[in-house]
A and B are shown apart, each in its own frame.
Chain A
Amino acid sequence: MFDPVQQAYLLEARQMQALSFAVHIPLVCFGIAFPAMVLRAEWLWMRTGDEVYRVLAMRWTKVMVALFASGVVTGTILSFEMGLLWPGFMGTFGAVFGLGFALEGFSFFVEAIFIGIYVYGWNRMSPRAHFASGIPIVLAGLTGSLFVLSVNSWMNDPGGFTLRDGRVTDVEPLTALFGNGHLGFELVHMYLAGFIVTGFLVAAAYAVGRLRGRWGRYERIALTIPLTVAALAAPVQLLVGDWAAREVAKTQPTKLAALEGVGHTQRGAPLHLFAWYRDGEVKAGIAVPKGLSLLAFHDPDAEVQGLDAVPAADRPPVNVVRIAFQLMVSIGTFLAALSAWYLFARTRRRRVPSGRWFYRLLVLAGPASVIALISGWVTTEVGRQPWVVYEVMRTTEAVTAAQGIPVGYATLAAFYACLIAAVAWILRRLARAPMATIAEPERALGGG
């Protein structure tokens, strides 16, 4: 029914899907983490009665709404594209993984409803009820990540079905989605990434302000709330990333070989930093003897499977995967180091860092965290190639037979350019909106 088709533009179809993810995923990060930060500001207002927190929470609410609306449309495009670009995948495996998206749909629904209530409810509900209406948004961000990643982790570690003559039988959706070996680390890795990306991006915006001389109590609070969360999450992310790589080493040896550029199966494989993969080996670069065997298997003499273990047609494009992986790891390390600096200043000196260099690096950390996020997804998704369902279905079997992919791709790219410009414009607009006057903290009431 869905035999492999002739599709001249498979690469364009994949790029189109990748582009859509690249636009959507940073918005997802804000969906996961920003409501929690807005709620933290509101909670601090409720506890202290200090108006500065309320003004902050209300201003952030507007940003949250604009970004959530953008996420709704980019998410809608993604759900359309699943069918438009990959009917072979949907038609064959929809029954296996579709339930994950059905569950995600409800999460998304709950998120949309309570964002509506939260936004509309400012000044229309009691503070307690209003704060409570924000909690389902945060929970839906977590469950939404869980359900979407259940599908992605199944694609990387497929199970819960039997394939006979191109049709699935013995379908066990719950085993497929929640019983696979990748869900745990993918979920933790992505959920933390949500807080890291949102935290560093928001903090970077206020760091720019500080370097330009906009620095008062409001700005300092607006910087520390997101930065504290991101700075606590970034060091943890290094450990989670290490865990993820060890699991990949176990279940997807070809992906590991691609991201480390291991041409031939070998014992005591070295770890190469930077450099370029060509003709079965990594050229130049810094080699750490036995480093890869040690890191991936905790044994300096462990055997690491090389790319030559599978036919050339079953290998992912090595340099794309490898460079994306190195980029993610380097940026992640930089973010963790910057976080350590911040945490040290906060805990030892009991203040935010005061040097200009810290804020310059923080400005860099915002966009860098987005690059790390996208590189991470390139690592896992391009590293899965040529398979859409790992070692079960190839992307050539999944792609649509329809004509006109380049036209769709160009149209979509133009739309995304407009969308990004529109989001940038609105954020600038919201940032420049005149600040409501902030009353003095009511010290008499709080006693502090």
Chain B
Amino acid sequence: MLGLELYALPLFFALQGIVLYAILAGADFGAGIWQLLAGRGERARRIREHAHNSMAPVWEANHVWLIFVLVVVWTGYPVAFASMASTLAVALTAAGLGIVLRGVAYALRSGSTGAAELRAIDTMTAVGSVLAPFALAAAAGAIASQRVPVGNAAGDLWSSWLNPTSIMAGILALLSSAYLAAVYLAADARRQGDEEMAATFRLRALVAGSVAGVAAIAGALVVRSDARWIFDRLVETPALLSVALSLLAGAATLVLVARWRLDAARVSAAVAVAALVGGWALAQNPVLLPGLTVREAAAPDNVQALLVVVILVGGLILFPSLGLLFRLVLRGSFSAEPRIERTVSLARPTGGLAATLTATRLAGACFAIGAAFLVLGDSGWPHAIGVAALGAFIVLGLSALAGEDSRE
């Protein structure tokens, strides 16, 4: 059973990374889609502005989940990773370019002011926001429909990810991204007291959510005719339970949005995405790629154990940090006035001429010692001493030169 044995644990964490990426980066891409659909005029400008401002502080952190998934899969299941990456090269290139567009647009937006510039930049965001989720979901569809064989580019570069199942997955990803974004943006607008934007995005959430629901049902029919293997496994327990939970959560989300329960709606939307990914995983289990089980694909146990330790320890650092970021962003500006501490007064950064002279001489001595150990030493320890002394040279040098030389 997936998730219970060491060899499968990294995959279990990677799936959680996929869920978080689908929810968090999905909302980010969705915001880009709404910028694309905003049209023109003052209201459209406000929509684009709100979509950008809500996403800006968390943009980078949201996207790092993809890197997490990649590195866990390539360490824990190298053969499967290599097979996927080489066959899905075109899809992943398209996704990569989409992410680049999104990132560049983000970087550009921090310095631009003109309306025409902003519109051009937001178009870039939008193109990237359509390309990336579509291509990534299509790649997932390729794996689910068993179109990625084991080997170096052993599958078809195009039909592996441009087929009915993949296209359906891509469309569903776009719709769910748009939906997640609309719910998030409506909640965010409401928190800021912007009732007009809240109503605007609530309406968009309802529309996108309903369309996504219809598309999901249509998608099931497409998968049934195109990829019977995975369909049959999706409609068996335990996968069926997970898929049913996803549908229920999706429906509940719509009701919650309609009733203005936006924060609860975000939770249920996340459950819907997680249950869908979970259902896919349960349906595939234990097959990772055709003819390759998860156990066969897994790296040796000691590697998996180390990887799990790294993930858990990393998580201990990561989640509190992420919590801090999201809390700061969600609470917004809790003090508009900069609180400047005027009490700190340590005269000047430099401690006078004598101290500066001492630091300079010490720095010189450290440089000489470091150079001697590093150049004349012939093994690890002298080199380590040399590096430490040279480090001390830099630190002492910085303190000696900290003062502002006002004569010039």
Partner of A109, one of B61, B79, B407: B61
The answer to whether A82 and B74 touch across the interface, beta carbons within 8 angstroms, is: yes
Cβ of B232 under 8 Å from chain A: no
Cβ contacts under 8 Å, A220 to chain B:
404, 408
Cβ of B344 under 8 Å from chain A: yes
**CB 8 Å contact bits of B336-374 with A (1 = contact, 0 = none):** 111111101111110000000000100000010011001
Cβ of A303 under 8 Å from chain B: no
Cβ of A128 under 8 Å from chain B: yes
Partner of A95, one of B75, B106, B383: B75
Cβ of A300 under 8 Å from chain B: no
The answer to whether A87 and B153 touch across the interface, beta carbons within 8 angstroms, is: yes
The answer to whether A426 and B152 touch across the interface, beta carbons within 8 angstroms, is: no
Known interface pairs A76-B66, A105-B68, A422-B108; A116-B349 also in contact (CB < 8 Å): no
B379-395: which residues lie under 8 A (CB-CB) from chain A?
Answer: 380, 383-384, 386-387, 390, 393-394
The answer to whether B67 and A426 touch across the interface, beta carbons within 8 angstroms, is: no
The answer to whether B374 and A240 touch across the interface, beta carbons within 8 angstroms, is: yes
The answer to whether B328 and A101 touch across the interface, beta carbons within 8 angstroms, is: no
Partner of B81, one of A75, A94, A115: A94
The answer to whether B81 and A109 touch across the interface, beta carbons within 8 angstroms, is: no
Known interface pairs A66-B107, A102-B72; A415-B97 also in contact (CB < 8 Å): yes
The answer to whether B90 and A404 touch across the interface, beta carbons within 8 angstroms, is: yes
In angstroms, Cα B86 to Cα A204, docked, is 42
Partner of A83, one of B86, B299, B380: B86
In angstroms, Cα B74 to Cα A93, docked, is 9
Chain B: interface size category: 35 or more
Chain A: interface size category: 35 or more
Cβ of B57 under 8 Å from chain A: yes
CB distance from A420 to the nearest CB of B (A): 10
Grouping DSSP codes into helix (H, G, I), strand (E, B) and loop, the B interface class, with mixed when no group exceeds half, is: helix
A46-102: which residues lie under 8 A (CB-CB) from chain B?
Answer: 46-49, 62, 65-70, 72-77, 79-80, 82-84, 87-88, 90-96, 98-99, 101-102
Partner of B157, one of A124, A185, A235, A403: A403
Cβ of B213 under 8 Å from chain A: no
The answer to whether B86 and A87 touch across the interface, beta carbons within 8 angstroms, is: yes
Partner of B370, one of A82, A229, A236: A236
In angstroms, Cα B374 to Cα A188, docked, is 12
Cβ of A313 under 8 Å from chain B: no
Cβ of A448 under 8 Å from chain B: yes
B86-102: which residues lie under 8 A (CB-CB) from chain A?
Answer: 86-87, 89-90, 92-93, 95-97, 99-100, 102
Partner of A108, one of B67, B157, B340, B405: B67
The answer to whether B86 and A84 touch across the interface, beta carbons within 8 angstroms, is: yes
The answer to whether A91 and B83 touch across the interface, beta carbons within 8 angstroms, is: yes
In angstroms, Cα B300 to Cα A242, docked, is 39
Closest to A82 in B: B74
Partner of A447, one of B154, B157, B345: B345
One of A271-279, A280-288, A314-322, A346-354 at the interface = A346-354
Cβ of A126 under 8 Å from chain B: yes
Partner of B340, one of A49, A113, A433: A49
Known interface pairs A400-B153, A403-B157; A173-B303 also in contact (CB < 8 Å): yes
The answer to whether A94 and B82 touch across the interface, beta carbons within 8 angstroms, is: yes
In angstroms, Cα B406 to Cα A112, docked, is 37
Residues of A within 8 A of B (CB): 1-3, 5, 44, 46-49, 62, 65-70, 72-77, 79-80, 82-84, 87-88, 90-96, 98-99, 101-106, 108-110, 112-117, 119-121, 123-128, 136, 169, 171-174, 184-185, 188, 217, 220-221, 224, 228-229, 232-233, 235-236, 239-240, 242-243, 298, 343, 346-347, 350-352, 354, 400-404, 408, 411, 415, 418-419, 422-423, 425-426, 429-430, 433, 442, 445-448
9 example contacts (A-B, Cβ-Cβ < 8 A) are as follows A72-B103, A96-B303, A98-B75, A112-B63, A117-B324, A171-B300, A171-B302, A411-B93, A418-B104
Residues of B within 8 A of A (CB): 57-61, 63-64, 66-68, 70-72, 74-79, 81-87, 89-90, 92-93, 95-97, 99-100, 102-104, 106-108, 110-112, 150-154, 157, 299-300, 302-303, 306-307, 310-311, 314, 317-318, 321-322, 324-325, 328-329, 333-342, 344-349, 360, 367, 370-371, 374-376, 378, 380, 383-384, 386-387, 390, 393-394, 397-398, 400-402, 404-408
